[in-house]
Chain A
């Protein structure tokens, strides 16, 4: 969770490149050179080594490994900024020191030190002070190297502290420093410390013969076990919900983590000071005024617990042993360092009482049986989940809107369908109204028939019965044939069917439905008669009517005396006609009625206003 911020970038790309500046990447195994440069360097070193062996006569005492180290150290020290300063002391002493100098520091470390104290170096360089400083440092380094194999870190620490004391003492007492201001003296003391400690870092930091590493692992494990401890448990007043405060919490944790990357004890101390000033800043925002130690210590403990810095104990021990004691006892750095030590001590000795909780609760948390709900982590987790919930709610709202749109469109579509349906039914009713299905007399057929049958008119009246039975029959046959013959052209003219059975007048508006309905059950023959009598519009000429078989029959019955009273034999002859007359009218009449009735019913159902 706290890895979101990366520690301060301490290795730059230029540090990774070959030291010869050939733009290839270097390798630590090749002393920071690329493979080609390293080989060249090796060759040059080999020559130098031979020369050195002759010059110093020290090789017998040094083991092979040390020999190797020495060789590398020498090449290294040539590159260091320190060596430039080192030009000042007498030349006889130099090689010996260089041989003993540990191969610990990189070029960049020295460049940083030099950069930090440029003005200081300008003042002391090429002066007697510079010479004295270098002499003292060299002496100190030699002393440390002498005792480094004694495996007694306390002894090394004592040597270092004595060196610091003697150095500051000599600055006060030695006549060559009498013109130097206090500020410069302080700076010089810092510089000496920084410089020598950076050089000796790998020898003095967490040496294998101490149990520093075990302690590091112990405290790390302890802090991991205590990951459930929240600000609330510690009664620390950090407003974890504020964004600014949280940023400062992260920054102060980063400062604390950076402590491990710094080399000189003073730099480490500076990291602690940074961290603590940030804690004060965040407490100022949380408390609303200058924070006191009552608020500061719990906050620092909280930060240490959440940051879980690497090699914490080693770093603390290194600072305690090798930082100038006067610096550690006084000043801001001393105060904050004491607080950090207190925080670590508190974490190490943390009990149920120190968190104001019962022993059973404490043990449950420590064993991992119970996971508290109020830790920083879970709070952030809840925040993340809440964020997710919010996102999902937004998504759901969007979907709801879309859904509503779809529903709206569906309703519109439904309305469209209804209006379309209405429009269609309106149109159909209008069309039906405009052109209703009406059963009428086939007057036009008759008229047409009449017209067409101009030739028929000229024909001699067929209704004059023949006495001869045989002649009569043949005449009727002929009539039926002529009728059939005449009907065909009529149907071609798209009028109502020419057959006497289909005499519905479709285009007769005057003809009422009622009249048709009323004659539902009447036969077509009677209907014809009836309509004929009612409707005078279409006068059927008597002459043409005579052609109609029915009319003929009527007329014949009225006017003609003889044929209406046929003999039994004649009746038999007539039988063929009557069959035809009786069968034909029934079929069309029923169908026509049924159709019309069902239609009108439907219409009246849909449009009650129609009637």
Chain B
């Protein structure tokens, strides 16, 4: 299991090595409104849930860095408006995104249905290499569960998605899902080429410090 405190870790803890590289990725959050998209991100980036600090003025655009063995993955998380009326605008957001998390609420069947339409849309319209993760949020409300874990997992396997049930409230699986995405993302030289598809730019670290990968990623 991932250490929960990892969410509070800032960019200062990123591993700095002579050969270490930073890959920047754009990640979009999709899902019906009120499924907890922004809560999920706030938990991941700030470690907060309903105890907002003054400095946190918005949860629509946030960045977080995750350390993998040799690379530092910098997530740029773009939140999208979940309301049905803004659905048609979504392609503008996921254009050029390398990763997407489709969130649904396990206590609401409709949100799961919407999630499946999002997945279909992404597979059809987004970049072919996009990494899609399905997150069943509000897992702490197990007694009100409507969407069964097996049902969602079956769907995810069918479509080749990453799948986890998460809880922004208890921080369950929040970091895991981001880490899983980071691992799945291609970190080759093409990914660092910002010129063509707007993929994360690869920036060479100039500082020559010892890598400290061990303390952030297990």
Contact = CB atoms under 8 A, between A and B. Distances in A.
Interface stretch (A89-97, A292-300, A506-514): A292-300
B206 A182 contact: yes
B189 to A, nearest CB: 12
Nearest to A325: B198
Given A182-B203, A342-B86, A329 B52 contact: no
B79 interface: yes
A290 interface: yes
A13 B34 CA distance: 52
B58 interface: yes
Interface of A: 165, 169, 181-182, 235, 277, 280-281, 283-284, 289-294, 296-298, 325-326, 329-332, 335-336, 338-339, 341-342, 345-346, 349, 353-356
Contact of B26 (A325, A330, A346): A330
B195 A165 contact: yes
Interface residues of B, number: 37
Given A289-B52, A345-B89, A235 B60 contact: no
Contacts of A331: 76
A297 B86 contact: yes
A476 B195 CA distance: 161
Contact of B93 (A169, A284, A338): A338
Given A292-B58, A293-B29, A293-B79, 7 more contacts: A277-B58, A280-B58, A293-B78, A297-B81, A329-B194, A345-B92, A353-B85
B26 A329 contact: yes
Q: Give the top 8 A-B pairs by smallest Cβ distance, nearest first.
A: A329-B198, A292-B38, A293-B79, A280-B58, A297-B81, A290-B59, A342-B89, A335-B61
A582 to B, nearest CB: 124
A294 B42 CA distance: 14
Interface in B47-78: 50, 52, 56-61, 76, 78
B114 interface: no
Contacts of B143: none
B37 interface: yes
Interface of B: 24, 26, 29, 33-34, 37-38, 42, 50, 52, 56-61, 76, 78-83, 85-86, 88-89, 92-93, 96, 194-195, 198, 200-201, 203, 206
Nearest to B77: A335
A349 B34 contact: no
B60 A280 contact: yes
A577 to B, nearest CB: 130
The residue among A277, A284, A292 with the most chain B CB atoms within 10 A of its own CB is A292
Contact of B60 (A169, A293, A326, A356): A293
Nearest to B48: A290
13 contacts: A290-B52, A290-B59, A293-B29, A293-B80, A297-B81, A329-B96, A329-B194, A330-B198, A336-B61, A338-B78, A345-B89, A346-B85, A349-B88
Contact of B85 (A292, A329, A332, A356): A356
Contacts of A277: 57-58
Nearest to A336: B61
Nearest to A281: B57
A283 B52 CA distance: 14
Given A235-B83, A346-B86, A292 B76 contact: no
Contact of A294 (B24, B82, B92, B203): B82
A472 to B, nearest CB: 140
Contacts of A326: 194-195, 198, 201
Contacts of B24: 330
Contacts of B76: 330-331, 335
A235 B82 CA distance: 12
A289 B89 CA distance: 25
Given A298-B81, A342-B86, A291 B60 contact: yes
A424 to B, nearest CB: 82
A356 B85 CA distance: 9
A97 to B, nearest CB: 27
Given A294-B38, A326-B201, A341 B92 contact: yes
A342 B93 CA distance: 9
A382 B186 CA distance: 59
A217 B82 CA distance: 30
B89 A346 contact: yes
Nearest to A355: B85
A349 B89 CA distance: 10
Contacts of A294: 33-34, 37-38, 79, 81-83
B206 A296 contact: no
Given A297-B81, A298-B81, A354-B85, A291 B92 contact: no
Contacts of A330: 24, 26, 76, 194, 198, 200-201
Contacts of A290: 38, 42, 52, 56-59
A89 to B, nearest CB: 27
A351 to B, nearest CB: 9
A235 B38 CA distance: 18
Given A181-B206, A346-B86, A280 B81 contact: no
